[in-house]
Chains A and B, each alone.
Chain A
Amino acid sequence: MLALDRVSKTYPNGVEALARFSAEIRVGEIIAIIGGSGCGKSTLLRAIAGLDRASSGTVTLDHEAISSPHAKIGIIFQEPRLLPWLSVADNIGFGLADLPAISRREKVARALERVGLTEKAQAWPRELSGGQAQRVAIARALVPQPEVLLLDEPFSALDAFTRRDLQDHLLDLWADTRPTLILVTHDVDEAVVLADRVLVMRPRPGRLFDQIEINLGRPRDRNSPLFENFKRSVLTSLDRSLDRNVPDRDATQGPGHAMWW
């Protein structure tokens, strides 16, 4: 279990990016974090990844405090961040350097097949489309079998069609080993398609505003009325998070709010 206990981050320039963020995330749960730009989503994710230390508060994975990058935690960024001097296959195997070459090659081959890029194994990253590159990044992060996978707006640079394709693909890959997923997004549709639970944040300082359980089976039909309902709840909550007159933790969702939309 991943536990965030009053995680706060104040940058050296005095910006209070994150204030007392607490949450408990179950193994295998898919969390979407949504909120306006600058409300501390990336800051939170980087603290969980151990890339930046929190100013106060703790992140613990199975009771182990996280303060630097951890073998069980993977992260995917908005950009694929592939190493341009390595082939697609070598990029995917980047995190497996400790493994003997044979089992590494085996795992890479399986991952390539899983993301449908087998014929691109020897291509250079610059020869890939944006969607293909991000699939390689996903494969690279998943191949060491992390228990927690963090994704910071992973699909936001892609066109709508590719984005949908990758959302479905991500769920498919997730089903293989069911890691915990924490996905930052600003796309309500994406949050509702993927998440078991949507956390809504509000800015200045960045903090948790609301949680919405998405009690929908999978695969989810983007056009069902139930799906629309959940989307509306998230949108309403998001809208209220931006309204300064709404106090924190006043987030009882009623049909009344939905009327706004």
Chain B
Amino acid sequence: MISDAPVLQRSSEPAESAAAPSRLSRYARPVLGLLLPLTLALGWELVVWLGWSNGRLVPPPSRIFTTITDLTHSGELVRHIAATLWRVGLGFAFGVIAGTLLGAISGYWSLARRLLDPTVQALRAIPSLAWVPLFILWLGIFETSKIALIAVGVFFPVYLGVMGAILSVDRKIVEVGRVFRLSGFGMIRRILLPAVLPAYVVSLRVGLGLGWMFVVAAELIGASEGLGYLLLDGQQLGKPAQILAAIVTFAILGKLTDWLIEIAAAPFLRWQDAFGQAKGA
């Protein structure tokens, strides 16, 4: 699950041949990546337009686009997006708060780690969706159980990221703090926080990715609004264009929120190799 972590730690790209082709590849690479999906989309559009297929099960891009604009005009889309964003936002916030606090405690105090970490690791071994029936029993089928499920999904990567980052802070750098006689608070503010930040941002992005994954699950289980509901509704009414419209919206929102984290963190991570340069692939 955590395998699709955004790769931020990559230490500068393998030197891209020489000066001349680097200019080409900078622009050519994203274009090359777009070539296949664009060709397929246009091809399919053409196939349907020529009447070789009615495109009922796989609607052409234009029909998906029309669906999206229709949903937008009727105000439906905004309502569903708002519902989903609200759930992801709250679940993410709770997951991040809990993950950060417990992760920091486990990373900082080895006694707490010995007490806490085995339990957390054991809970992590449970596929999070297995909690669904229990959450519904405990918290009802409305918002609370959905938000709880999302928060659980977000919690683990954040907890692990924070704890791991604190544990792997370079002791030699901590010693520099000691030489300059930093107090406990000064040590946290001037050494630990900046040292932990890059890994923390990665864990936030992984957590957010899981949050989006779990909101779909939560909304598929039972909701009267939200993008997941749009998916289910499209399936039940046989409207593949609506399903695809919801999927496209998920993709855009997921990318957008991930990008927000990246943008917010960028000023603090300028010192890192991977930022500013080598941001291609």
Q: Is the CB of A83 within 8 A of B181?
A: no
Decide yes or no: A51 and B176 within 8 Å by CB, A84-B271, A126-B271 being known contacts.
no
B172 to chain A: closest residue by CB: A81
Q: Is the CB of B179 within 8 A of A71?
A: no
Residues on B facing A (Cβ under 8 Å): 172-173, 175-176, 178-181, 186, 190-191, 194-195, 197, 268, 270-273
Q: Is the CB of A83 within 8 A of B191?
A: yes
In the complex, whether A75 has a CB less than 8 A from a CB of chain B is yes
Chain B residue numbers with a CB within 8 Å of A124 are: 270-271
What is the distance, in angstroms, from A48's C-beta to the closest C-beta of chain B? 12
B178: contacting residue among A69, A79, A86, A94, CB under 8 A: A69
In the complex, whether A85 has a CB less than 8 A from a CB of chain B is yes
In the complex, whether A31 has a CB less than 8 A from a CB of chain B is no
Q: Is the CB of B194 within 8 A of A85?
A: yes
Chain A residue numbers with a CB within 8 Å of B194 are: 83, 85
Q: Is the CB of B175 within 8 A of A51?
A: yes
Complexed CA–CA distance, A74 and B268 (Å): 29
We find that the number of chain A residues with CB closer than 8 angstroms to chain B is 21
Chain A residue numbers with a CB within 8 Å of B178 are: 51, 69
12 A-B pairs within 8 Å (CB atoms) are namely A51-B178, A51-B179, A69-B178, A69-B180, A75-B179, A81-B173, A83-B191, A84-B271, A85-B194, A95-B180, A97-B190, A124-B271
Residue from B173, B176, B178 having most chain A Cβ neighbours under 10 A = B176
In the complex, whether A44 has a CB less than 8 A from a CB of chain B is no
Chain B residue numbers with a CB within 8 Å of A51 are: 175, 178-179
Residues on A facing B (Cβ under 8 Å): 49, 51, 68-71, 74-75, 77, 79, 81, 83-86, 94-95, 97, 124-126
Decide yes or no: A83 and B176 within 8 Å by CB, A124-B271, A126-B271, A126-B273 being known contacts.
yes
Chain B interface secondary structure, helix, strand, loop or mixed?
helix
Chain A residue numbers with a CB within 8 Å of B186 are: 97
Complexed CA–CA distance, A86 and B197 (Å): 13
A74: contacting residue among B179, B191, B273, CB under 8 A: B179
Chain B residue numbers with a CB within 8 Å of A68 are: 181
What is the distance, in angstroms, from B68's C-beta to the closest C-beta of chain A? 42
Q: Is the CB of A81 within 8 A of B181?
A: no
Decide yes or no: A69 and B179 within 8 Å by CB, A77-B172, A83-B191 being known contacts.
yes
Chain A residue numbers with a CB within 8 Å of B176 are: 81, 83, 94
What is the distance, in angstroms, from A243's C-beta to the closest C-beta of chain B? 35
Chain A residue numbers with a CB within 8 Å of B180 are: 69, 94-95
Chain A residue numbers with a CB within 8 Å of B175 are: 51, 77, 81
Chain B residue numbers with a CB within 8 Å of A83 are: 173, 176, 191, 194
